[in-house]
Amino acid sequence: MKALVTRLDSFGDVLLAGPAVRAVAARAGHVTLLCGPRGEPAARLLPGVDDILVWDAPWAGFEPPPVNRAEIDALLAAVDADTALVLTSFHQSPLPTALLLRLAGVRRIAADSVDYPGSLLDVRHQRAPHAHEAEAALDLAEAAGFPRPDDTRLRVLPPPATSALTGPEPYLVVHPGASVPARAWSPGRCAQAVRELTAAGHRVVVTGGRGERDLTARVAGAHGLDLGGRTGAPELAGVLAGARAVVTGNTGPAHLAAAVGTPVVSLFAPVVPAERWRPYGVPYVLLGDQKAPCADSRARNCPVPGHPCLESVTAHDVLAAVEKVMQA
């Protein structure tokens, strides 16, 4: 059996699909993962994936591209699967993807759908209320005939050694960036946390992407080790795997930390519900007002002046949370 799993969103979304991908891989002879360009680095870390198709869908992402017939035709020609699992977030429709897969000749398609699917789905599943995204994906896989694996935690392929970057253990990681501004703690607060953690005797490594070098330099200051722009996805996995704990927002590295088994202190803005997106399968502490006025708004930029849901969190709060997760 050739199986296709689709998750067209971001880096963290693809990581959360990992347990469901492993469930499919246990029964299928070949597994292709169809993802978007922002999710591709995560897709290349997942066990159980034999092939990857990358397509920037017009209905996904923050800046979706226009509809391009030639690109759609190329995608339809590339799809080679007998059965497909269409994974989406709780607020997304799987039906546009299902339509394309049907046109590509996929005979059996399963998805969560609150909308009437007509002939687009063979398995129309209803996700459990308030289910975590990783759990919802596993539930759908099981409904489609792929039983849960014994180990349902997030996993990635073994990362490379990164001690040449980080220096010797032990250390903590602070990752200040986020793809959505509303989910990010302010640089000033992050820098305070680095100073507080260092004063408490911890060595702190600050991570970030190539476009975040100014941010990581400011946050690291004279106290932290700045690795901004120096880690691709595999290297970041290695850095996080060596950490005693990771301090970050609701963003991809929080899920990558969980995938390598590292506890997470999550500065979690409630613009999306924590019950669906919290760190999965590892000790964690959520910091931030989960009942703030922005709750469940899915806002990209904080609609409340001063970003109080996260700015109310102090460096001392972070230190206490780090100590707690390291003891868990």
Task: Note the pLDDT tens digit of each residue in 247-305.
Answer: 999 999 999 999 999 999 999 988 889 999 999 999 999 999 888 888 788 878 888 88
**Are 28 and 2 spatial neighbours (Cβ–Cβ below 8 Å)?**
yes
CA 327 vs. chain centroid, Å, equals: 25
The CATH classification number of 2-143 equals 3.40.50.2000
Q: Do domains 2-143 and 163-327 have the same CATH topology?
A: yes
- Would you state the pLDDT for residue 149? 93
Domain ranges of the chain: 2-143, 163-327
Query: What sign does the dihedral 257-258-263-264 (CA atoms) show?
Result: positive
Taking domain 163-327, whether its CATH number is 3.40.50.300 is answered by: no
- Would you state the pLDDT for residue 271? 86
Residue 269, helix vs strand vs coil: coil
User: What's the Cα-to-Cα distance from 239 to each of 160, 175, 199, 226, 248, rounded to whole Å?
Assistant: 9, 11, 22, 12, 14
DSSP code at position 86:
E
Q: Report, as ranges of residue numbers, the positions in the chain whose pLDDT lies below 50.
A: none
Report the DSSP beta bridge partners of residue 110. 85, 123
Residue 195, helix vs strand vs coil: helix
